[in-house]
Amino acid sequence: MKSNPQHGHTERHRMKRLSPYSLIAGLMILLGACMLAGCYSNNCPMENTVTCNYAFYDAEGTAIAYQDTITVSTLMPGYKTVYTYRKMGTLPITKDEPDPTLVEAGYTETLSQQRNDTILLNKKSNASSIKIPMSYFNAVDTLIFAYRSISSKDTVKIHHSSYPHVELPECGAYRFHHLKSVTATDAAIDHIEISNPDVGYEGTTNIKIYFNGVAEAE
């Protein structure tokens, strides 16, 4: 049987005409999908932890690294039961849960009610700034600043409002805050002020703390 040369030529011509365009179209669709996915994922912030940022200064406004060791805790609602165990010749042992093994070892157990504090920053030394999380639903955050060099503590109160923030739907929601006022006692703090009232994840200074004393000129 003889083949039809004209028919074979038509099929080859059709393959040459359709295949390149189909390939290019497919590649363009795939490239577009990849670019679209990249745009959506790259628009989400990498640094997305919401904290209130504090910067430290001396009483005259010079930025400093505060030499003392600072522990910051916050007051939680209610009280907690603390179990203290004492035995002659040993240091007292404090626990949040009862420990029958210590009683069996000869320790005397006593119970007491203490404030339900939570440590937010533990023993930070030589710091020029700190980051402290804020409560979502309380209108006032009460922070206790404890120092290693002095027995007195400072109480810092931050009045604020909170609201949900959505950058993009695929990034999820975050809780931002707006500072209204801030006060502090004067054990080690000279004065305190709001620098930027809007608390998000940008990392800008929100509150400036001015400590007693003046930094020595170098």
Cβ contacts of 103 within 8 Å, gap of 6 or more: 85, 109
Closest CA to 111 of 78, 83, 80, 79: 83
Planar angle of CA 124, 126, 128, nearest 5 degrees: 95
150 and 183 within one domain: yes
Question: pLDDT by residue for the chain (218 residues), tens digit each?
Answer: 444 555 555 444 444 454 554 544 454 555 444 444 444 446 776 666 889 999 999 999 999 999 999 999 997 767 788 899 999 999 999 998 999 999 999 999 999 887 777 899 999 999 999 999 998 888 999 999 999 999 999 999 999 998 887 776 667 667 899 999 999 999 999 999 999 999 988 889 999 999 998 877 65
Query: Does 166 fall in a domain?
Result: yes
72 and 12 within one domain: no
Tokens 């993009």 correspond to 168
Query: Does 96 fall in a domain?
Result: no
Total domains in the fold of the chain: 2
